[in-house]
A and B are shown apart, each in its own frame.
Chain A
Amino acid sequence: MKLSLTRQALVLVALSLLPAVGEAIYFRGKISWQSPIPPSELVSVDQARTWGENVIWVDARPDAEFARDHVPGALSLNEDRWNELLPEFVASWSPGKKVVVYCSAESCDLAREAAERLRKEAQIPDVFVLEGGWEAWLKKNR
């Protein structure tokens, strides 16, 4: 009886493994296992804080999110109104300043996209993405 139960359990496990293996093979190329942002372009809240006032905080979230709350002194720069907001950003920028871009959380890609545009299109150096985004900043500061 005991042996029979073990056998049945093994058969069930084997049956459940079949679709799992199939799914793993089918979705192999579709799963992102790594952050698309290289570590050198990321900055933690603590590290950014040590830069003191030598940093411009850029909020890449939509207007409504920015209006609700944001890092004190942050500038809004989202892709909905990029052309309108970019001149406001560059008016605050000066050579030597670091730029920290954030969106809501680790999983959002708005900060990465905004940072990439600042580097490639505006050719601004020292642009970083905040690790953990707005959520991480909130945890450390409130």
Chain B
Amino acid sequence: MKTHILAFALSITVCLGARAELKFDKTEIELHPTPADKQAVGHFTYQNTGKTPVKFKSVKASCGCTAAQTQKDEVPPGEKGEVTATFNIGDRTGTQVKTVTVETDDHTNPHTVLTLRTIIPQLLEVTPTFVFWKQGDKPDAKPITVKVGKEFTVNNIKVTSSSPDFQTKVEETGKGEFKIDVQPKDTNSNLGTTLTIQPVDSPKLFYATARVTGAPPAPMAPADQKAPAGQAAPVAPTDQKAPVGKTAPSGQTH
């Protein structure tokens, strides 16, 4: 019995000694891009601490907004390298956590999940980004609050309406806070505008939308528990024209 256990332990030790092993210095990186940055790049450095080469089978990002790549397909023993994860910020806000799954032929540790945590600074927080009036409503002004991010200073903001059918008035309501009063000229027909909000001394633009919407839809028979009675749609939305000129990295779950 003792001999068998000894043989087993010895074989495990031999196997462990001969194995390939890709060790990442960090499997989680936190990035702090500036408001002007369009991308945030994380470098996950690794070393093959084993005695045989390690081959990458696949490197997949959890989101189309993140592209991940390795410098090489095979890592010889002792060699170092890095997996680069590029996160496209787009119009995202707040803290974004994306993962990259690295698959190798290392049987002891075939999958490694790398986490990229990106803290996107918010220069302005606009709430709500959409205000509306129903047709026939009293055309009273509706407020939009603009809060300046804690780490920033904005002395004033400029608001532009894309349509002359809406008027805006900006008021500073406190330190680092503004109120935009939006008012339609009337609510007799469907109207809409995009409000562009720009802090002075910053090229960054923020947006809000104001609309006078159609009358509430005509009643229909309630179909199930979740659908409130007395609501139905007049028209289904028209199919959108597919945007062109953008691609997403393959092998991702969107």
- Which residue numbers of A lie inside 8 Å of B, CB to CB? 4, 7-8, 11-12, 43, 47, 50-57, 60-67, 72-76, 78-84, 86-88, 90-98, 103-105, 107-110, 117, 120-124
Inter-subunit contact A54/B207 (CB<8 Å): no
Interface membership of chain B positions 205-246, coded 1 if the CB is closer than 8 angstroms to chain A and 0 otherwise: 111010101111100100110110001111111111011101
User: Chain B's interface: helix, strand, loop or mixed, by majority?
Assistant: loop
B192 at the interface (CB under 8 A from A): yes
Contacts A53-B233, A73-B239, A97-B233 given; does A8 touch B209 at CB 8 Å? no
Given B209, B224, B231, B242, which contacts A86 in the complex, CB threshold below 8 Å? B209
Given A52, A73, A122, which contacts B130 in the complex, CB threshold below 8 Å? A122
Which residues of the other chain, A, contact B233 by a CB distance below 8 angstroms? 52-55, 94, 96-97
New A-B pairs, 5, CB < 8 Å, besides A82-B90, A108-B254: A65-B254, A67-B244, A80-B65, A80-B91, A91-B192
Inter-subunit contact B217/A97 (CB<8 Å): yes
How far in angstroms is the closest Cβ of chain B from A136? 14
- Which residue numbers of B lie inside 8 Å of A, CB to CB? 1, 4-5, 8, 62-65, 88, 90-93, 126-130, 132, 134, 192, 194, 205-207, 209, 211, 213-217, 220, 223-224, 226-227, 231-240, 242-244, 246-248, 253-254
Given B8, B91, B130, which contacts A124 in the complex, CB threshold below 8 Å? B130
Contacts A65-B248, A103-B254, A104-B254 given; does A74 touch B240 at CB 8 Å? yes
How far in angstroms is the closest Cβ of chain B from A52? 7
Inter-subunit contact B128/A123 (CB<8 Å): yes
Which residues of the other chain, A, contact B226 by a CB distance below 8 angstroms? 43, 47
Question: What 6 pairs between A and B have smallest CB-CB spacing?
Answer: A50-B223, A82-B91, A67-B242, A80-B90, A62-B64, A96-B231
